[in-house]
Structure 1
Amino acid sequence: MAAPVGFLLLWGETSGVLLGQQCGQGLTIDTVSTGLTLGPASEAATMVETRPSLCAESALPLKPWARLQLPCRARLATLEFQLLKDGVALEHVRLDFPAIAHQFVLGEVTRDNRGLYHCRAGLGSGWTQLSGLVEVTGTEPLPPPRLSAEPVSWITPGLNSTLRCRAAWHSATFLLRREGDQASPVVAEGGEDGEATFPAEFELRDVSVADSANYSCIYVDPELPFVGSAPSARLQLRVDGPPPAPRLRVLGPPVTPGRDAVLRCEGSVPGVVFELLRAGEEEAVVSASSASAAADLVLTAAGSGHAGNYSCRYRAWGPVAFESPWSDPVELQVAGS
């Protein structure tokens, strides 16, 4: 079961009309025209509006129910803010310095924090009136989408593969996640052609064994109330054979004795370890980890003994273990050798 989804509603303060307002949508309260004209004395007696505004926003726009925040914005700078749920005071915040706003963090929407919220701000020795009302509720996730691989889920290195996420939902936002990968998910927008099924395609170019993994996708309604789906069934994408061999080249001008020699190994898979091997030897002379798909391998204070032919490769130990073939050899020349 997926995490509950945040459902954010804001009632108009005077009309009672249900409004779907988020922070930053520019909600304003219009004065009702009565056809009357106020005289000078009446204008002087008009009270200044002091009640703060309360809205809802998320630190994770694609998963708004996961990290919900309720910013309370005062009319005047103040040292105190208070959040109320279902009419009961929850949190009284006293700041070190006056501020115009304070952000109350609810976190993930759960059964415990669903309810009706107001806020108020400090005013003199008391409080302002309560803000407008924000309701935080939850709803069941949408049905899971279907994830498939085209042409097939078992492919050979160097080919392109398309992962297709399908859901019967209009104009949804789709997210693709690789199991064990902590990076942000891949995002794609669904179509708007009015059909019942909207695919989201995620293309993997020049796939290698490093792309072998379990994948799943979800979809999120980009409109209020931000309903999200349960995840699809896991799809196992398997790539047979080693990744492509890297390319090795010597950087900079001809190497003179005592200067560093830099050889750049360029592969096709990021987040791996690169190794440099000298011809005739069995152990790598230099190795380096790199977050990118290339690494500079440095021979410190090169001398005549460093001259010769070199090759490089890259490898990884998890979540999928693999190693590339060795690159074509490159000759390193050192002046005077």
Structure 2
Amino acid sequence: MIALLVSFLLLWGFTLGPVAEAAVFFDTRPSLSAKSESQLEPWTNITLTCKAQLVTMDFELLKDGTSQELVHLHSPTIKHQFLLTGDIWGLYRCRSGLSNDGWTELSNLVEVTGPKSLPSPWLSTEPVSWITPGLNATLVCHGGLQGVTFLLRRKGDDAFLEVAKAGEDVEATFLVHKAGDYSCTYRTHAAGTPSDPSAPVTIKELAAPPPPALNVDRESAGILRPGDKATLVCVAPLSGVEFQLRQGEKELPVPRSSSNPDRTYFHLEALAPRDSRPYYTCRYRLWNQQSAWSEDSKPAELIVSNEQLPAPELLAQPASRSPEPGALVRLRCLGPLVGMRFALVREDAGGRRVHRVLSPAGTEATFELRNVSVADSANYSCVYVDPEPPFSGSVPSASVELQVEGPPPRPRLRALWSGAVTPGRDAVLRCEGLVPDVTFELLRVGDTKPLERLHAIHPSADLTLTYVGPQHAGNYSCRYRSWWPNRFESELSDPVQLLVAGA
């Protein structure tokens, strides 16, 4: 029998970033781990255990992207063991049955390879990859074989070595107090040769935590009137922190609410014209009062106008209601006073919202819409506000309508790999467009139903074919679309060919 060894590659990570709304989500994916009859010879008599999140009678083991063994039990259980026999080299995942005759998503990945060099574990940070006064980082080394011992090292520090036994989840946790480049390995027994190291993880030391993001809530994104309410959303890169809203150097003790532990909503009541300036910022810190405040967020701005100043004039260049796709359109807002703050307002099916704000030296602000497409179709107007007392604002200008015909620019699809994809690995394709805040779709050439779909704020997205098998070989294209506020769909990109090794 050919000698074999098991290692674990965890394929999901910790994602941070703003989302529109918090949602309750229960992860039904099972976990997959390996157990050997002997830690001295971990490549013999290997059993894979698929542990479900909910009791079930159905389990499936997959190898190299294709079904290997399907099991229907006589009574519900939480886990099932698969004994590997024959030619067992490969990349394994499992899934468990759901009550509606469906299946969960695939488990983590377990790799079975030869014993000459132990495959690498995977090292991740929780919750962040930096340390500050009062906040340490946690490193988690993930492995797939039960009973191994993990070793953590810091680059350039021969004296540093942390050792931990794998827990029930075949991973070990290390608390990190110093900055540096860390990697981890594992060994199956005390005299055993350690595995290849994980990819390095860099822990940075910062004087203050990095800034949060502060945004104006969609309902407050238009031109506001004195007495209106407004909501600002502050999102931190980690959960369970204390937030603070500021205006200049002054803290604003306003009412707040939260639907997610990484963010808070600041509710401003009865706005006055002066609330257009100065800008708002937010920051956060751990609930420990001794910890440092983060850096301030980028400023967010509210535009409040009492409409006591005369309306400006908005002109479009070229002066066409239907500019050519890809053209540069300049929207010139002309006011009667110098030193004003000008806001371009966009109005479409999604409502009225401030599109851009400028502070020109003279009496005219020029807003540029580059590479216009159907996504820019809307009615535009502008206002100006005085940033100095008494903080008056203007009546809105007359609207300028833009209707750009035809589909948006065609995207480009790129493969983020070279050569043929190894069965059982993921294939990532990057779809690059020119329009932000759209939904990207990956399609197999000749099919109409998308295989993958992802909404992205930026004008590109990485679309992943998970756990590729021989059945995935073929040509793929991508497109992007929007259902709101403007409905449009791009043409398909040129195709990219996916080759699967051995197929």
1:164 counterpart (332, 342, 349): 332
Q: Mapping of 1:239-250 within 5 angstroms?
A: 239-250=404-415
Q: Mapping of 1:317-328 within 5 angstroms?
A: 317-328=483-494
2:312 counterpart (145, 158, 180): 145
1:177 counterpart (318, 326, 345): 345
Q: Mapping of 1:102-117 within 5 angstroms?
A: 107-109=270-272
Q: Which amino acid aligns with 2:315?
A: S
Q: Which amino acid aligns with 1:108?
A: L
Structure 2 vs 1, CA of residues 336 and 66 (structure 1 numbering), >3 Å: closer, same or farther?
Answer: farther
Q: Mapping of 1:217-296 within 5 angstroms?
A: 217-254=382-419, 255-296=421-462
What SS is found at the alignment partner of 1:107? coil
Give TM-score scaled by structure 1 length: 0.58
Give deviations 1:48-79, integer Å, cap 9, x for gaps: xxxxxxxxxxx99x9795679xxxxxxxxxxx
Which residue number in structure 1 is paired with residue 47 of structure 2? none
Give deviations 1:222-252, integer Å, cap 9, x for gaps: 2211110011122211111111100001113
Structure 2 vs 1, CA of residues 64 and 256 (structure 1 numbering), >3 Å: closer, same or farther?
Answer: same
Give TM-score scaled by structure 2 length: 0.39
Structure 1 unmatched ranges of 5 or more: 1-58, 69-99, 111-137, 193-197
Structure 2 vs 1, CA of residues 181 and 302 (structure 1 numbering), >3 Å: closer, same or farther?
Answer: farther
Q: What CA distance in whole angstroms lies between the structure 1 residues aligned with 2:424 and 2:251?
A: 61
Give deviations 1:182-226, integer Å, cap 9, x for gaps: 76530112333xxxxx22100011111000011111001122111
Q: Which amino acid aligns with 1:280?
A: G
Deviation of residue 144 (structure 1)? 1.0
Q: Which amino acid aligns with 1:218?
A: V
Moved over 6 A (4+): none
Q: What CA distance in whole angstroms lies between the structure 2 residues aligned with 1:102 and 1:204?
A: 35
Give deviations 1:117-164, integer Å, cap 9, x for gaps: xxxxxxxxxxxxxxxxxxxxx976101111121112320111110011
What SS is found at the alignment partner of 2:371? coil
Deviation of residue 277 (structure 1)? 1.3
Q: Which amino acid aligns with 2:411?
A: P
What SS is found at the alignment partner of 1:185? strand
Q: Contact conserved, 1:64 with 1:226, CA < 8 A, in 2? A: no
Q: Mapping of 1:27-42 within 5 angstroms?
A: none
Q: Which amino acid aligns with 1:279?
A: V
Structure 2 vs 1, CA of residues 252 and 181 (structure 1 numbering), >3 Å: closer, same or farther?
Answer: farther
Comparing both chains, which one has the higher relative contact order based on Cα–Cα distances under 8 Å and sequence gaps of 6 or more? 1
What's the % identity of the aligned pairs? Answer: 50
What SS is found at the alignment partner of 1:305? helix
Q: What CA distance in whole angstroms lies between the structure 1 residues aligned with 2:253 and 2:471?
A: 64
Structure 2 vs 1, CA of residues 182 and 140 (structure 1 numbering), >3 Å: closer, same or farther?
Answer: closer
Q: What CA distance in whole angstroms lies between the structure 2 residues aligned with 1:263 and 1:156?
A: 30
Q: What CA distance in whole angstroms lies between the structure 1 residues aligned with 2:501 and 2:251?
A: 67
Q: Which amino acid aligns with 1:161?
A: V
Deviation of residue 282 (structure 1)? 2.6
2:368 counterpart (163, 178, 203): 203
What SS is found at the alignment partner of 2:463? strand
Aligned-residue CA RMSD in angstroms? 3.0
Structure 2 unmatched ranges of 5 or more: 1-215, 230-249, 255-267, 274-304
Q: Contact conserved, 2:225 with 2:306, CA < 8 A, in 1? A: no
Counting matched residue pairs gives: 215
Q: What CA distance in whole angstroms lies between the structure 2 residues aligned with 1:65 and 1:253?
A: 58
